[in-house]
């Protein structure tokens, strides 16, 4: 099966089989190589690199890559589109203490267990203010992506990653985490020629549902309807959370509920997740999402209003316009741009900004409004919010959210991790 | 532009609607979003500031809904009960006094 990912290259998979991994760990230990224990943020991106979510990246970026990404929106090769730096940071003190030098092979551990090999080819510094300005368009640390950038330690390590120890994905995420290769196999089984990606970090209301339905109808075009030749991939971003976000478990299970309860036919709908800490980089993140979903095997990607934005940092349609600036053929996925869907009391239906002529009567689906209703424990009308999705939110709040469907300090402290790395044996 | 009322939105489920109907207050609700009912409890700027101080989780959403959001459900229940008791939306002073103690 064809496994060509972003940049026109074969999907990267840098994962050692168990026997080889056991042998390598013994060798590394015998050679007394240096070790570094990584935090969750880095462990997440190591998995993304190793399984090809970030293809054609084979490791953490070198300085040449980061500079090209922030200045030209390409990797250091000058042609592969890339918009967000993927970096491994370390403090000068820790670097000195470890004794790590350029061209060292380092054993990375996570929660104390062997995790990956890091072939360090570059040790460098970055001007984080410059990175912030060029990626996020602002240097304000109120912006969560900028804040993350400023929190990086002062040194960076670049080089290839090889995974030694596959993750155990914990419930309820187990069946939703598919590697890019596994996703492509799933699409093939389903007979899909067209795969539309819906990016989400939300529990769905019918505005989202109609966004997907509209994209499906629009993109299906003149393909034969004898059997479903296309489907919708809901790919939820599961990663670092802020208080007030929906809890991860509710996001993934409520998305799935739309298919389970027939709002989408089972054979045209699939829910999966990608481990990614949202950067809220608006247009730059939209480009990143396009690259990522190309790797998953998607043919189309939906971009709504204020895609991956935060606050008022981006114009609602910046994330659409940025695609016009890309050289033709540099992305292997077709963007589908959406305006808003709203409820119109005159049309008496959920309708599209580009169709309904009762703009002054519209009732918008603002996330804040829906959240306000859910926080009151009030079940909205089914035209606005599917009752099965509402019931699932309430179930998740009890089961996973310590009584709350939204992230609390309690949840951040006590939730079960999405993945764990066990002993290698 | 009309003067801002910094409302707290109390969403109406069947249980709340029954209480309102029993008190003859069903007309207090207004319909938003496909028939969903809400009571918008008005606040002055001063009341808003007091509420935000007493309930640090609450916030005033100036960007989209122009209302005070994130109020705990149990607290909204108390405000709702005051409305039914007083048969009036003008309850925030009494409410603030009761929680300031
Ligand atoms: Zn209309």
**Residue A198 three-state SS:** strand
Q: How many domains does chain B have?
A: 1
Searching chain A, which residue's CA lies closest to the CA of residue B77?
Answer: A376
CA–centroid distance, A384 to ligand 1, in Å, is 15
pLDDT (tens digit, 9 = 90+) per residue, B55-90?
A: 988 989 887 788 999 888 889 999 999 999 999 999
The predicted model gives A315-322 an average pLDDT of 96
Contacts of A376 in chain B (CB under 8 A): 10-11, 13, 73, 76
pLDDT (tens digit, 9 = 90+) per residue, A29-77?
A: 999 999 999 999 999 999 999 999 999 999 999 999 999 999 999 999 9
Same domain as A261, residue A384: yes
Q: What is the DSSP string of B14-78?
A: HHHHHHHHHTT-GGG-EEETTTEEEEEE---HHHHHHHHHH-TT-EEETTTT-EEE---HHHHHH
Could you say which DSSP state residue B4 is in?
P
**Angstrom distance (rounded) from CA B22 to CA B30:** 17
**Residue A186 three-state SS:** helix
CA-to-CA dists, residue A135 to A70, A307, A396, angstroms: 6, 15, 35
User: Which of B13, B63, B69 comes nearest A372 by C-beta?
Assistant: B69
The predicted model gives A222-245 an average pLDDT of 94
pLDDT (tens digit, 9 = 90+) per residue, A103-137?
A: 999 999 999 999 999 999 999 999 999 999 999 99
Same domain as A346, residue A252: yes
- DSSP H helices, A4-62, are 18-30, 40-50
Can you tell me the ipTM of this complex? Answer: 0.91
The residue of A366, A373, A376, A390 whose CB has the most chain B CBs within 10 angstroms, and thus the best one to mutate to test that interface, is: A376
Whether residue B1 is contained in a domain is answered as: no
The answer to whether the CB atoms of A244 and B70 lie below 8 A apart is yes
**Angstrom distance (rounded) from CA A64 to CA A136:** 19
The predicted model gives A272-282 an average pLDDT of 97
Q: What CATH number is associated with residue A146? A: 3.10.400.10
Whether residue A172 is contained in a domain is answered as: no
The number of beta carbons lying within 10 Å of the beta carbon of residue B46 is 12
Domain carrying residue B49: 8-99
Minimum distance, in Å, between the CA of residue A315 and any CA atom of chain B: 14
**Angstrom distance (rounded) from CA A288 to CA A282:** 10
Percent with pLDDT over 90 in chain A: 95
Contacts of B9 in chain A (CB under 8 A): 372
Domain's final residue, options A123, A144, A166: A166
Whether residue A174 is contained in a domain is answered as: no
Q: What CATH number is associated with residue A382? A: 3.40.50.620
Same domain as A342, residue A225: yes
Same domain as A207, residue A99: no
Q: Would you say residue A1 has pLDDT above 60?
A: no
User: Which of B33, B70, B71 comes nearest A380 by C-beta?
Assistant: B33
Phi then psi for A113, rounded to 5 degrees?
-100, 150
The predicted model gives A202-230 an average pLDDT of 95
User: Which of B13, B35, B64 comes nearest A368 by C-beta?
Assistant: B64
Domain carrying residue A219: 180-420
B15 touches chain A (CB under 8 A): no
Angle between helices A128-136 and A144-151 (to 10 degrees): 160
Report CA dihedral (A177, A182, A183, A185) to the nearest 10 degrees.
-150
Q: How many domains does chain A have?
A: 2
What is the distance of C-alpha B29 from the center of its chain? 11
């Amino acid at each position: 099966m064809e496994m060509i990912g972003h940049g026109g290259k074969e999907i990267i998979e840098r994962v050692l089989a168990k026997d080889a991994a056991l042998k390598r760990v013994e060798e590394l230990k015998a050679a007394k190589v240096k070790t570094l224990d990584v935090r969750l943020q880095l462990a997440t991106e190591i998995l993304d690199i190793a399984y090809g979510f970030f293809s054609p990246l084979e490791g953490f970026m070198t300085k040449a890559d980061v500079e090209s990404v922030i200045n030209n929106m390409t990797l250091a090769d000058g042609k592969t589109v890339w918009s967000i730096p993927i970096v491994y940071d370390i403090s000068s003190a820790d670097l000195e203490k470890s004794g790590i030098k350029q061209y060292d092979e380092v054993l990375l551990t996570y929660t104390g267990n062997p995790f990956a090999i890091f072939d360090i080819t570059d040790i460098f510094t970055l001007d984080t203010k410059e990175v912030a300005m060029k990626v996020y368009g602002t240097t304000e640390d109120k912006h969560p992506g900028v804040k993350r950038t400023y929190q990086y330690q002062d040194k960076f390590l670049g080089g290839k990653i090889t995974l030694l120890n596959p993750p155990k994905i914990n419930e309820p995420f187990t069946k939703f985490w598919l590697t890019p290769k596994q996703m492509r196999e799933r699409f093939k089984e389903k007979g899909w020629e067209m795969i539309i990606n819906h990016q989400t970090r939300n529990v769905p209301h019918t505005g989202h549902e109609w966004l997907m339905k509209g994209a499906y109808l629009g993109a299906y075009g003149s393909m034969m309807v004898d059997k479903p030749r296309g489907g919708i991939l809901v790919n939820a971003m599961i990663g670092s959370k802020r208080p007030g976000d929906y809890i991860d478990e509710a996001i993934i299970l409520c998305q799935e509920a739309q298919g389970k309860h027939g709002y989408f036919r089972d054979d045209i709908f699939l829910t999966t997740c990608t481990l990614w800490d949202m950067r809220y980089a608006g247009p730059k993140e939209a480009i990143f999402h396009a690259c990522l979903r190309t790797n998953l095997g998607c043919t189309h990607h939906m971009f709504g209003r204020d895609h991956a934005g935060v606050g008022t940092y981006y114009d609602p349609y910046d994330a659409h316009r940025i695609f016009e600036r890309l050289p033709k053929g540099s992305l292997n996925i077709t963007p589908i741009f959406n305006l808003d869907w709203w409820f119109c009391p005159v049309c008496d239906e959920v309708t599209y900004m580009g169709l309904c002529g009762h703009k002054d009567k519209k009732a918008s689906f603002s996330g804040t409004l829906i959240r306000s209703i859910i926080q009151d424990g009030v079940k909205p009308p089914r035209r606005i919010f599917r009752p099965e999705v509402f019931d699932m939110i309430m179930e998740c709040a009890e089961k996973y959210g310590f009584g709350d469907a939204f992230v609390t300090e309690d949840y951040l402290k006590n939730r079960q991790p999405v993945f764990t790395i066990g002993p290698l044996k | 532009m009309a003067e801002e009322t910094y409302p707290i939105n109390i969403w109406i489920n069947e249980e709340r609607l029954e209480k309102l109907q029993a008190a003859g207050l069903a007309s207090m609700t207004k319909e938003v979003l496909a028939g969903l009912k809400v009571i918008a409890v008005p606040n002055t700027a001063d009341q808003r500031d007091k509420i935000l101080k007493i309930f640090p989780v609450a916030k005033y959403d100036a960007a989209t809904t122009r209302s005070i959001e994130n109020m705990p459900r149990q607290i909204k229940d108390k405000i709702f009960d005051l409305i039914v008791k007083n048969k009036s939306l003008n309850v925030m002073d009494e409410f603030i006094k009761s929680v300031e103690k």
